[in-house]
Structure 1
Amino acid sequence: MDDQVLLGSGRDADVFALDEGRVLRRYRAGGDVAAEAAIMAYVGSLGYPVPRVDRAEGPDLVMERIDGPTMLRAMVEGELAITDGAEILADLHRRLHELPPRPNSAPGTRVLHLDLHPDNVLLGPRGPVVIDWLNGTDGEPELDLALSALIAAEVAVNDMFGSGALAESFLRVFLGAVSGDPLRLLDSAVARRRGNPTLSAEEVSRLDSAATLVRALSTDVRQAG
């Protein structure tokens, strides 16, 4: 580890620079990244923007280094308009859910990310790239939409990092741009977030308020449209 530079840390993992073109994502609790690597390889083979995976072994995922800010940072710093960011995220959902289902998946399901929010999109030289596929699986696309909407609403109601107003504006545009109904599986999204062990007790306590905001803004968007 001495020759590896820490680039960042999330709730589950640390990311280290290996060289100019590769990074190592290491999960602190251990585990096996094989399923995550497989879903990244699948969507990447169909042209979806994900980092190239070079090696997956135990808790370690070696992959392409994407140089560029997260979408969240770009919006907070004024480098990317809120409207543009929300529309990009909605388009990333659309593109993902239009991919053909994986072999042997249940009828009607598609590949889901289940944690697709602005901090998991890097704005690299080849455009937006989606990272952090730990939760990736097959399922109903509207669960993906509901989770993205709920996560944005959590930031809004918690005013995380002083970005509450920004998050609410983002959510309003996102709800108007998506294809599909983020409300249909919103209760399932809340239950999933409630069971997330990385959320604090305070964050969990505000999930109902976040869901209420999603419903209210969705109603406003529908009436305005």
Structure 2
Amino acid sequence: MDDVQADGLLPEGAEPFAFGRDADVYSLDEAWVVRRYRDGRPVRDEADFMRWVRKYDYPVPAVRQVEGPDIVLERLTGPTLADAAIAGDVSPVEVGLIHADLHRRLQAIPAPSGTAGQVLVHGDLHPYNVILTADGPVVIDWANAEEGQPEFDVAMTAIIFAQVALDPAFASLTPMLREALSTYLANSINPTPGLDAALASRGRNITLTPEELALLPAQADLIRSHLPT
């Protein structure tokens, strides 16, 4: 998984056209973009994980080049699943089914190390990290990817659904998210064995606000209430 290195992956004077919590995205040309972490963290492991799942035809952007905190990625065209759902173009049931399908496909891929019982977990699979392209949903932002238990990954996605569903700032989205969560859990493996670990990991996420962290116990209760009986 070697990379062709280069000095300065950004064109001079480049300005970001998209922003995340901890990274910015810059245009290279019509086919490629550069994503750069603001804190300077290296992206080689993330790139290697993306290349690994792509070998198994998992829907992930192609990686062209890596240097330090910069990664050159295939440019994707289409709305995020979140934006499509908010616009009413995708139903809550479809949101849940898409996530369940993406996790099933990921869980079928062997871990790069070959460790028995381990899979590659995304760690942050939610509607804003799914782009609806003309070829289907594509998963982005693999910064939290690692080898682990599949139940952990399902639990983490459920936690993120529950977080937004319980946040008063997004009260208008609560019915949609509850239905999406219910559909997702009904079509996924039982996340219970990984729920405590996922909650603990989420609690260590430095990008979350104190208000978001305070919702973690209620999120766990909501998830358990939506588990199939």
Shorter chain as denominator, the TM-score bin is over 0.9
Match of 1:11 in 2: 21
CA-CA distance at 1:100 after TM superposition: 2.1
**Partner deviation per Cα, 1:124-151 (whole Å, 9 max, x = no partner):** 1211000000000111100000000011
Out of 37, 51, 59, the position equivalent to 2:61 is 51
Q: Distance in 2 between matches of 1:23 and 1:81?
A: 30
Match of 1:94 in 2: 104
Q: Distance in 2 between matches of 1:81 and 1:16?
A: 31
Q: Percent identity?
A: 42
Q: Distance in 1 between matches of 2:179 and 2:15?
A: 36
SS in 1 for 2:115: coil
- Shift in CA distance, 67/3, structure 1 to aligned 2, threshold 3 Å: farther
Q: Distance in 1 between matches of 2:136 and 2:28?
A: 22
Out of 31, 36, 40, the position equivalent to 1:30 is 40
Match of 1:117 in 2: 126
Q: Distance in 1 between matches of 2:210 and 2:114?
A: 35
The 5-angstrom pairing of residues 159-174 of structure 1 reads 159-161=168-170, 162-174=172-184
Match of 2:192 in 1: 183
Q: Is the 8 A contact 1:68 1:122 kept in 2?
A: yes
Q: Is the 8 A contact 1:37 1:53 kept in 2?
A: yes
Out of 10, 17, 21, the position equivalent to 2:31 is 21
**Partner deviation per Cα, 1:80-114 (whole Å, 9 max, x = no partner):** 11111210110000000001221x34321011101
Q: Is the 8 A contact 1:150 1:190 kept in 2?
A: yes
Match of 2:80 in 1: 70
Q: Is the 8 A contact 2:93 2:183 kept in 1?
A: yes
Q: Larger deviation: 112-121 or 163-172? A: 163-172
Q: Which runs of 5+ in 1 are unaligned?
A: none
Q: Which runs of 5+ in 2 are unaligned?
A: 1-10
Q: What is the TM-score when the length of structure 2 is the normalising length?
A: 0.91
Q: Distance in 2 between matches of 1:208 and 1:144?
A: 18
SS in 2 for 1:43: helix
Question: For this pair of structures, how many residues does the alignment match?
Answer: 218
SS in 2 for 1:184: helix
Moved over 6 A (4+): none
**Partner deviation per Cα, 1:27-67 (whole Å, 9 max, x = no partner):** 01111000000000000011000000011110101110010
Q: Distance in 1 between matches of 2:114 and 2:21?
A: 29
Match of 1:130 in 2: 139
CA-CA distance at 1:4 after TM superposition: 3.3
- In structure 1, give the amino acid aligned to 2:226: L
Q: Is the 8 A contact 1:24 1:61 kept in 2?
A: yes
The 5-angstrom pairing of residues 149-164 of structure 1 reads 149-161=158-170, 162-164=172-174
Q: Is the 8 A contact 1:105 1:138 kept in 2?
A: no
Match of 2:211 in 1: 202
CA-CA distance at 1:26 after TM superposition: 0.6
Q: Is the 8 A contact 1:23 1:64 kept in 2?
A: yes
